[in-house]
Amino acid sequence: MLTKEELKDIYEKRYTSVSQDHSAREIAQYRKYYKVLLNWDSSSCSDKHYLDLGCGLGAKTVGFNNGFNAVKAVDLSEKAIANCRNKFSEERIEWVAGDAMAVPGKYELITALGFSLFNTPDNQEFISNVGHIIRQNLTERGGVMIVGSFTDLSGSGDSWYMHSQNDLVEIQNRLETEHAVKVEVIFPHRRFSNYFSGGLLNLIAELRKLVLTRRRNFFIKIVHG
């Protein structure tokens, strides 16, 4: 397993050469996923606190920000955080360079998008890392945590991302058994709102993906009981 220093090193190098040209598209896509997954209206968000873990270049954080009372986004990479502060200076988001596993405080919404710091093919490790965040940071009674990734369900094991259907069932059952939470695995492409919550361009892009794409985005939605 990689240490945090090794991970930080990998991502600092990756963010040196990255372009952000696709950020507007990513923001729009995650605004839509926000509607598909939560759809809390902005008035109910104004008293909620949102924490994004492993925010990277921040477009997904911005997409999910629906007028929360406060938003904190944390990443190990100082380059990524400097980039977010510069690129999204108009947003009311606190960008923090540091370890997302050690953030103080409780939040009504927590996301880890692109599997972020939970990147691991090991279900046990994944479940214990997510459990740590549930205990440490998720508001009791109604707090929601969303972990997002993609897979073709092959479980081919050659990537952090290729979970099988059995992996997802194990993750769901064990999180529910070991914590006071309700867990749903959501594939947006199976939901009507995925096609009709983002305008005409979204509809065309989603219909195209339906035909051409094997790997699908999915989200593990964890609701504190």
Ligand X SMILES: C[S@@+](CC[C@H](N)C(=O)[O-])C[C@H]1O[C@@H](n2cnc3c(N)ncnc32)[C@H](O)[C@@H]1O
Interface residue with ligand X among 45, 84, 93, 100 (CB under 6 A) is 100
The whole-angstrom separation of Cα 151 and Cα 156 is 10
Tell me which of 31, 32, 49, 60 binds ligand X, using CB under 6 A: 60
Write out the two tokens for 111: 């996301």
Burial class (CB in 10 A: 0-12, 13-18, 19+), 170: middle
| Chain residues 184-223 in contact with ligand X, contact rule CB under 6 A | none
Q: How many residues bind ligand X (CB under 6 A)?
A: 20
Rounded Cα–Cα distance for residues 106 and 152 (Å): 34
Among 37, 51, 76, 138, binds ligand X (CB under 6 A): 76
- When binding is defined by CB under 6 A, the residue of 36, 84, 93, 113 that contacts ligand X is 113
Q: Is 54 in the site for ligand X (CB under 6 A)?
A: yes
For residue 150, the SS3 value is strand
**Least distance from ligand X to the Cβ atom of residue 59, Å:** 7
Closest approach, Cβ 68 to ligand X, in A, equals 17
Q: Which is nearer to ligand X, 120 or 196 (CB)?
A: 120
**178: which residues sit within 8 A by CB, 6+ positions away?**
127, 131
The closest of 201, 96, 202, 184 to 148, measured between CA atoms, is 184
Please give the residue ranges that form the binding site for ligand X (CB under 6 A).
4, 7, 11, 54-57, 60, 74-77, 80, 99-101, 113-114, 116-117
